[in-house]
Amino acid sequence: MRPHDVVVLLKIATKQGTDWFMKDLAYELGISASEISESINRSIIAGLIFEDKKRLMKSALLDFLRYGLPHVYPQKPGSLVRGLPTAHSAAPLNKLIQGEEPYVWPYSEGSVRGQAIEPLHVNVPKACLKDQVFYEYMVLCDAIRVGKVREKNIALEELEKRLS
């Protein structure tokens, strides 16, 4: 698995109930079509998506996010930069959790100054500005990567609601 495989899987989660093509994912995420295809194939091998390449294995994905993500792709807040809010600093978590210093993905078009959190793929901030639902998925994912136990549990509950 690679970090952007999680990005691809969560983008697929936003497509529930609608038809989509790999080229759509490639365009919306700013990732090449061949890399999308390879990512989906890795996710099939990992048991996170069905062989039809359209349906997520939701309980397996939630288990991976809960138990694997914080260990495989951990993140520590970095220096102060301008960017796009993430983790507890963005919706839906900013209504539930009050934080001291905002966490942001470094992004030149961002409007918030906070501690840098490296996104799972360089194009995540741009893709999130185009799709609010995807943005929320990625925010919850980052809360699992950088949050304390309480933040992680809240993020996992929110992800579970959205994926069911």
pLDDT digits (tens, 9 = 90+) for 72-92: 999 999 999 999 999 999 999
Give the type of residue at 141.
C
> Could you list the residue range(s) of the whole structural domain that residue 47 is in?
3-72
| CA dihedral over 145, 131, 156, 100, signed as positive or negative | positive
DSSP state of 137: H
pLDDT score of 99: 73
Where a domain ends, among 22, 46, 72? 72
Using CA atoms, how far apart are residues 49 and 55, in angstroms rounded to an integer?
6
Residues 60 and 96 placed together within one structural domain of the fold = no
Where a domain ends, among 49, 72, 95? 72
Using CA atoms, how far apart are residues 28 and 124, in angstroms rounded to an integer?
10
Residues 66 and 108 placed together within one structural domain of the fold = no
pTM comes to 0.94
Radius of gyration of the chain (CA): 15
Residues 91 and 140 placed together within one structural domain of the fold = yes
Mean pLDDT, the chain, rounded, equals 94
pLDDT digits (tens, 9 = 90+) for 123-163: 999 999 999 999 999 999 999 999 899 999 999 999 999 99
- Report the candidate in 132, 119, 117, 120 with the shortest Cα–Cα distance to residue 162: 132
Instruction: Tell me: pLDDT of 31 over 80.
Output: yes
**98 pLDDT band (50/70/90 cuts)?**
confident
